[in-house]
Structure 1
Amino acid sequence: MSTTTTIRKGALEASIDSQGAQLMSLKLSGNEYLWQGDEKFWPRRAPILFPIVGCLRNNFAKSAAGEVHLGRHGLARNYEHRIVEKTEDSVTFELESTPETMSAFPYAFRLNMTYTVDGERMLQRFTVTNTGDEIMPFTLGGHPAFNVPAPDANGESFDDYELRFTRPWTAVSPAIDADGLCDFDRPFTLFEDADTLSLSHELFDKYLTLTFQDVPGRTVTLLGTKSGHGVELDFDDFPYLGVWSAPGAPFVAIEPWRGVATCHDESDIFEEKRGMESLDLGEKVSYEFSVSPF
């Protein structure tokens, strides 16, 4: 049975479910910034993505170790993770490969998810260890969704929100098809020489998911233009950023990614996909991003 663990420091509090090691709540001074899930729109809140981001073509790929059979965003979000370390302001979860996981992803691994709060921001760290006897390909990402309007944003609507970047730039995104695959041969320009993107449900109805590359400073702010409330994400370790909302839903997901879904110009060889990295036998790597509500 899953359990929820709460960590806190100062005015910031985060709660994480052992099922999927998923962030379930992020409160500042008692105000909830994280989307709380709703079957009408999207039941999840902030799933972790491993060992893929997005979709494989027909949920299938070939690898040096055998066939890979993974649904959208991989398998880690579907399993119970055990707590291996806990303090007042930090908790670390662990998921290890099993015969069941290896039937879908034929590699032995250990995934540790660490959440830490310092009073002003929450840090989310992924640590992946290759515990097998061959080189392991993988990628990963986060998927936190945030309430829009933000708490204490009286009178604001979804259309009062924008993404704000650290400097003007030109954002070009690959198209996403109905199967969730990326088409880098059909890019579209979201904005040119600007530091903001106004959000609307029509924007997401048209493009489904926005995929940013080379975000300036790897920092983005989701900002309510009337209330001044929102969240800032810093994601130095993540070269891609996905932004998504469900039709008519009162949330925006801001997703630091190290890879993307299978692309139209790719084969079904797992190791050859964009953003895929290889971990040597016994090797361990860590990546992290932070969320600062305000």
Structure 2
Amino acid sequence: MTKLTTITDGDLSATIDAQGAQLMSVKLGDGEYLWQGDERYWARRAPVLFPIVGCLRGDHATSAQGDVSLKRHGIARLYEHAVVEQTPSSVTYELRSTNETRAAYPFDFCLNMTYALADGRLTQTFKVTNTGNVDLPFTLGGHPAFNVPVPGEGGASFSDYELVFPEPWTARVPSIDEQGLQDFGHMHELFRDTDRIRLTHELIDELLTVVFVDVPGRSVRLVGPAGHGIQVDFDGFAFLGVWTATSDSPFVAIEPWVGCATAYDESDVFEEKRGTITLAPGETCVRSFTMRPF
């Protein structure tokens, strides 16, 4: 049975499901900013990505501890997470390794997910602790999807929206094949010396997922024609995925990632994936990103 927790701070509220510790709602007043899931397009809303982002080649890799067998985006989204701390404006979940998780990912870990509201922002925090006696390799990321149009934008269409960055820059993005593998040997120049790009289904259909690397200021805003939207700040995340499901999907996912899917120029050794974080026994890693609806 679904176990939902709602947190509030002023006019801002968020609801999270213990299943997958998945964000289910982000509201400013009565306006819902988070995609609400629809099997015609995509049933999820904002899955937690751990211990991989994207996919492994053939869903398999080798590691110092044995075979790794993980489907796209890993295992955190598959399990119920326990609530370990709660206040009116925050909630923390916990997922620990088990015999079942070790069969797919042969490492011991504790993953805490905290959602906290303050100053008009929702902060999503990953805390990973190595609870084993060998090094723990992993990547992680968020996958929040937002309604298009956002509240207050009336009948605005998908292509009325822009992604706006803190400063002009030149974005070169890798190719992605139908299996989800990335080719950093074939980069596309998406735009040059500008701080924005118009959001279109055609752009995402062509690239499958737009993967930005080293976004200046680690920040982006999704902005509609009436000036409403959402800002995502992701310091500590080297990659930003932008994705939607089909050519008429009424949402866009804006995804801060520490790592990314397996690339053509990588081996199938798990520890050698781009962006991999490695924790010694007892060590902890913390990464956070924020979402601000406006």
Q: TM-score range by the shorter chain?
A: over 0.9
Q: Secondary structure at the match of 2:67?
A: strand
Query: Does residue 112 in structure 1 map to residue 112 in structure 2?
Result: yes
Aligned to 2:234: 235
Q: Could you list the per-position Cα deviations for residues 143-167 of structure 1 after superposition, in whole angstroms to 9, with x for gaps in the alignment? A: 0000001112113110100100011
Deviation at 1:2, TM superposition (A): 2.8
Q: Could you list the per-position Cα deviations for residues 20-69 of structure 1 after superposition, in whole angstroms to 9, with x for gaps in the alignment? A: 00000000011000000000110000000000000000000000000000
Alpha-carbon RMSD? 0.6
Q: Secondary structure at the match of 1:185?
A: strand
Aligned to 2:279: 279
Q: Secondary structure at the match of 1:77?
A: helix
Asked if the contact 1:8/1:119 (under 8 Å) is kept, the reply is no
Q: How far apart, in 2, do the equivalents of 1:277 and 1:159 lie?
A: 36
Q: Secondary structure at the match of 1:127?
A: strand
Q: How far apart, in 2, do the equivalents of 1:168 and 1:218 lie?
A: 13
Aligned to 1:253: 253
TM-score (norm 1): 0.99
Q: How far apart, in 1, do the equivalents of 2:47 and 2:101 lie?
A: 17
Q: Secondary structure at the match of 2:52?
A: coil
One-letter amino acid of the structure 2 residue matched with residue 257 of structure 1: W
Aligned to 1:37: 37
Q: How far apart, in 2, do the equivalents of 1:154 and 1:76 lie?
A: 36
Identical counterparts, % of pairs: 59
Q: How far apart, in 1, do the equivalents of 2:155 and 2:13 lie?
A: 26
Q: Secondary structure at the match of 2:85?
A: strand
Q: How far apart, in 1, do the equivalents of 2:107 and 2:139 lie?
A: 13
Q: How far apart, in 1, do the equivalents of 2:245 and 2:189 lie?
A: 21
Q: Secondary structure at the match of 2:61?
A: strand
Residue correspondences, number: 293
One-letter amino acid of the structure 1 residue matched with residue 188 of structure 2: F
**Structure 1 residue ranges without an equivalent (≥5):** none
Q: How far apart, in 1, do the equivalents of 2:152 and 2:277 lie?
A: 42
Q: How far apart, in 2, do the equivalents of 1:220 and 1:152 lie?
A: 19
Q: How far apart, in 2, do the equivalents of 1:293 and 1:152 lie?
A: 11
One-letter amino acid of the structure 2 residue matched with residue 267 of structure 1: S
Q: Secondary structure at the match of 1:259?
A: coil
Deviation at 1:19, TM superposition (A): 0.1
Aligned to 1:206: 206
Pairwise mapping of residues 2-21 of structure 1 onto structure 2 (< 5 A)?
2-21=2-21
Query: Does residue 87 in structure 1 map to residue 91 in structure 2?
Result: no
Aligned to 1:143: 143
Asked if the contact 1:2/1:80 (under 8 Å) is kept, the reply is no
Aligned to 1:61: 61
Query: Does residue 193 in structure 1 map to residue 193 in structure 2?
Result: yes
Q: Secondary structure at the match of 1:37?
A: coil
Q: Secondary structure at the match of 1:195?
A: strand
Aligned to 1:46: 46
Deviation at 1:285, TM superposition (A): 1.1
Q: Secondary structure at the match of 2:204?
A: helix
Deviation at 1:119, TM superposition (A): 4.5
Q: Secondary structure at the match of 2:291?
A: strand
Q: How far apart, in 2, do the equivalents of 1:115 and 1:291 lie?
A: 11
Q: Secondary structure at the match of 1:103?
A: helix
Which contiguous aligned blocks of 4+ residues in structure 1 show a shift greater than 3 angstroms?
none
Q: How far apart, in 2, do the equivalents of 1:41 and 1:155 lie?
A: 19
One-letter amino acid of the structure 1 residue matched with residue 39 of structure 2: E
Q: How far apart, in 2, do the equivalents of 1:258 and 1:155 lie?
A: 35
Q: Could you list the per-position Cα deviations for residues 178-206 of structure 1 after superposition, in whole angstroms to 9, with x for gaps in the alignment? A: 00000001110110001001011111111
TM-score (norm 2): 0.99
**Structure 2 residue ranges without an equivalent (≥5):** none
